[in-house]
Every structure is written in C-alpha cells, then in structure tokens.
Amino acid sequence: MIAPLALAQFVASYAASNMNVAISAIAHDLSTTVFGVQTAITLFTLTMAALMIPGSKLTDIWGRKRCFVIGLVVYGAGALLALAAQGIVLLVIGYSIFEGVGSALMIPPIYILITVSFPDVTSRARYFGLVSGAAGLGAAAGPLIGGTITSAISWRASFGLQVLVVAWIILMSRRIIEPARTGRRPRFDLAGAVLSAAGLFFVVLGVLQSRTYGFFAARQNFAIGGTVLIPKGSISPIWILIAIGALFLLWFFLHIRSAERRGRDVLLRLRLFLNRTANLGLGTQLVQWLTLQGTFFVISVYLQEIKHYNAIETGLMLTPAIVGILVTSAAADRLARRHSQRALIITGFGTAVAGMALLLGLVRAHTGILSWIPGLLILGAGIGVMLTSSVNVVQSAFPESDQGDISGLSRCVSNLGSSLGTALVGSVLVAAKLPGGGPFAASLSVLVVITLIGLVLAVLLPRQPARGLGQASPRAGDDARASRARSLETLSQARRPPSAS
C-alpha cells in the first residue's frame, strides 16, 4: 500500500524541481524565451498551491483512493501533453495546468490514507518517514535526475519517464485498501474553493515575484501593457499582490464563518485554527520546507556560479544531504518508539542548524569536495527527522472526519514554505553587495536564523498533544487495530468468488 503513495509523492516533488535545469533546452527546442519557460514553472507552482485545499476536500466527497487515482490520471495526461508539446502553450496546458491540478488531487490523499489506515503515532511514523523521505529525495534529486536525462537524451524524456511511472503507480494503487468512511458525504463549497484559490494564488505569486522585484524597494519598473505602474526604487509590487491575496483570504474566512453559522458544509472548518498543537506544527512545516528548498537553492547556485559546476555535478554534490534525509526518514518508526514527536522535531531543527553552521565554517571557494560532506550530511539528517515528525504531529491532532481538511491545509503550508525558501534566498543573493561568495554566506546565514525560529516553534509544542486521531490509549489502539483487521477480513470475503454449487 505504501509503495504507490511514496512513489507518487516522489514524482510530485520531482516535477517541482527538475525543470529548473532544463529551462534553456526547452526554450531552444520550443523556440520560446527563458522567461516563457520560467513562467510555465511558476504557473505549475501556483496551480498546485491554489488548488491543494479544494483538492483535499474532494477526498471526502469522491473518496480518498478514487481522488488519488483521478489525480494520477490527470497528472499523467499532463505529462503526455508536455511530452508532445511543440510550443509554449501546450507545455503550459500539460505541465502547468494538468500536472498542477493532478498534484493537488493526488497529494492530500497520500497523507490521509496513511493517517486513517494506521491507528497509532508510532506505526504511522514509519510510513510518514517513507513518504517524507520520498518527498525530500524528489526535491533534492530532481535537478540531478532531470539534468542527467536532459543531457543524455532530451527534456522530453523526463516527461516520458513521468508518464511511465504514473502508469505503474496506477497499477500498484489497486493494492490500496481504503478504510470505510462513516457519516454522510459533504457538499463541495464552490464559493469557498474560489475564494481560497484566489487568495493563495496572489499570495504565492507575490512571493515568487520577489525574485524579480525584491522584497522592499522595486529593483525594476513594474509595468502592465507598457504602462509603468510602480517605478524602480518605489515599494516592491509584491506587497500589492500579497495584499490582494490577503483580502481574498479574509473574504474566505468570513464566508466559512457565515456558512458554518447557517449549518452549511464549508471547505475548511474554523476549529482547525483553534488547535494549538496543529498551528505550531504547521509553523514548523513552513520553516522546514523553507529551509530545505532555500538551502538547496543557494547551494546549487553557489556551485554553478562560483565553482562552475554543471547541473549533473551540482546534483551529485547534494548526494550527502539526500543520504541524510533517507537514513533518518527510514528510521522514523524506530525513533518514534524511543522519543516523542516533539523531541524529534526539536532535534531535527538543532541538527539542521548544526549542518548549516558546518557549511558556513568549512566551505570556501578554494576548498575541495570533502569540506561539503559533513555539513550536507548533518543538514539532510536533521531535515529527514523533522519532516516526518511534523507531518505526524499535524495529521494526528485531528479525528478522521477532519483529515480531508487538515491534509490540504498542511500541504498548502508546505508549498508556501517551498516558495518562500527560493524567493527569499534569491532576493538576498541579489541584494547582498558582497564580493565572491559573500552573498551566498549571507543567504545561508538568513536561513540559519529562520531555522532557529522553527526551533522555537518546536519547543513551544505541547509535551502532551491534544488527542486527535491516534492519540488514544494503547487499549484504544488495540481496538482500532482489531477493527481494521475485521474490516479487511470482511472485504477479503466479499472479494472471494462464489463457490460452485
């Protein structure tokens, strides 16, 4: 059951990172500009982030497994369109829209299925570890795999590989047994979906545009249709975009408050935001993905700009971090049996800070490959520990009836953290007027400070989290396991062919 879920998470994370090393090749092949390909990548991120919460809600309406398979089909169709694209328009339709929508449909069920299928936090940690490891591996190894395929064959082969993998996942998904749901299926809150999607679209768009215009003063003119709306040196236009997004999100919250008072089904229940454990856990997730994507981005740019490495060499240099993520993610269940999730998150943040400190202390423009290994290995180990534990804390803080809501919110926060990581680092790299590798050191130092903020949030997590799904007594866990075993036996009997009589 876990294999298709982990592989689907790997593909989704891979799709978000591998395109960056193929921008020039795609632009040349499709007779378009680098800006056009970058726009397609941005639209993929925006589509996925904007639709993650509505996509998660659909799991309560269509069913978790069905939503997962539909997402895979849409994603695979998008990869096939991108493979055959002869121009930027079809690439945008296939990659940016279809793959973005497919990701928003298939990612939330991954975490919901694990949460509802395994009754206790410790056993759940094992499988969250596998999925989190797949997510980190996809994000970290995306440039290496994508660069290798693009250099050896073509950028189209990367999409072809995704089509084959997705088809394989669909076949494997037949093994997934979804626990039976209780209660009625909710109605889809279309107004809430539109408002939340619009709000997240503009917020994430503003964050992504910070790489072009900066966070504070605009680094260049902001023009629409040839008319300069904000001249260079004025306030950055990203704040206008973020403000528009914030207004839509405020409208969204007012909508769901009004709808809940009338007893209507809503996209997100307001009580989700009243859970202190979940709120702090979501904060740690935001910082974790910001740290992961921001660190890999600054290291990748440093290796290519200062060391003059190509995409494949850059990906190989990140191997120690990938190893660290995989090792600690694989040990998640063993660690969960010995330590609390809170302690593991704290340890993960502390380890990640130590890894970044080693990179700052050991790496210089003239140093060799060995100077990178300790820092990257320890950084990856810290990320692997805290990614798994934070997901477990957030998902386990709520009962099964709220899993569709919290899973979408959790994945949305993670996407926002990823976007913030690359945007923030990109802005610091441009703004830091320092010689040589100074801007890279400044960027990594900023990430250290942000990671320390994540450490503070982890320390504030309650020692005894509020009971949600899987926070019951051991006896309750035994009852849940027995109930699940009875459900599986009933399903097995139902699938047996009738005997000849």
Contact between 209 and 51 under an 8 Å Cβ cutoff? The reply is no
Residue 499 lies in a domain: no
Same domain for 377 and 258: no
Separation of alpha carbons 101 and 363, rounded Å? 40
Q: Which of 217, 240, 264 corresponds to the end of one domain?
A: 264
404 has pLDDT over 70: yes
498 has pLDDT over 80: no
38 has pLDDT over 50: yes
Q: Which of 264, 299, 331 corresponds to the end of one domain?
A: 264
The domain that holds 47 is classified in CATH as 1.20.1250.20
Per-residue pLDDT tens digits for 307-323: 888 777 877 888 898 88
482 has pLDDT over 60: no
Residue 432's pLDDT band (boundaries 50, 70, 90)? low
417 has pLDDT over 90: no
Residue 36 lies in a domain: yes
> Own/partner pairs for 212-219, CB < 8 Å, 24+ apart?
213/237, 213/238, 214/238, 214/427, 214/430, 214/431, 215/424, 215/427, 219/430
As a whole number, mean pLDDT of residues 241-249 equals 93
Closest C-alpha to 365, from 267, 436, 456, 441: 436
**pLDDT, averaged across the chain:** 84
Domain span at residue 214 reads 189-264
Same domain for 231 and 142: no
Question: How many angstroms separate the Cα of 193 from the Cα of each of 55, 138, 201, 258, 453?
Answer: 9, 28, 12, 15, 31
| pLDDT score of 284 | 93
Residue 140's pLDDT band (boundaries 50, 70, 90)? confident
492 has pLDDT over 50: no
Same domain for 338 and 212: no
Same domain for 269 and 413: yes
Residue 113 burial (CB count, 10 A): 27
Residue 83 lies in a domain: yes
Same domain for 434 and 337: yes
239 has pLDDT over 80: yes
Per-residue pLDDT tens digits for 267-309: 888 888 888 988 999 999 999 989 988 888 888 888 877 888 8
354 has pLDDT over 90: yes
Q: Which of 216, 234, 264 corresponds to the end of one domain?
A: 264
Residue 483 lies in a domain: no
Residue 133, C-beta contacts closer than 8 angstroms, at least 6 positions apart:
6, 325, 326, 329, 330, 384, 388
Residue 362 lies in a domain: yes
Same domain for 245 and 170: no
As a whole number, mean pLDDT of residues 120-127 equals 79
Same domain for 204 and 115: no
Same domain for 89 and 40: yes
| pLDDT score of 434 | 57
Residue 85 lies in a domain: yes
| pLDDT score of 18 | 81
Same domain for 376 and 253: no
Same domain for 255 and 168: no
As a whole number, mean pLDDT of residues 409-425 equals 84
Length of the chain measured in residues: 501
Residue 167's pLDDT band (boundaries 50, 70, 90)? very high
Residue 396 lies in a domain: yes
Question: How many angstroms separate the Cα of 78 from the Cα of each of 16, 73, 144, 476?
Answer: 14, 9, 22, 44
Lowest mean pLDDT among 14-18, 102-106, 233-237, 407-411: 14-18
Query: Domain total for the chain?
Result: 2
| pLDDT score of 436 | 60
Q: What residue type is assigned to position 476 of the chain?
A: A
| pLDDT score of 303 | 83
Same domain for 161 and 304: yes
Element (H, E) at 227: strand 227-230
178 has pLDDT over 60: yes
Same domain for 398 and 273: yes
pTM of the model: 0.81
| pLDDT score of 129 | 83
Lowest mean pLDDT among 24-28, 44-48, 236-240, 308-312: 308-312
29 has pLDDT over 60: yes
As a whole number, mean pLDDT of residues 223-249 equals 87
Residue 258 lies in a domain: yes
| pLDDT score of 397 | 85
As a whole number, mean pLDDT of residues 354-371 equals 88
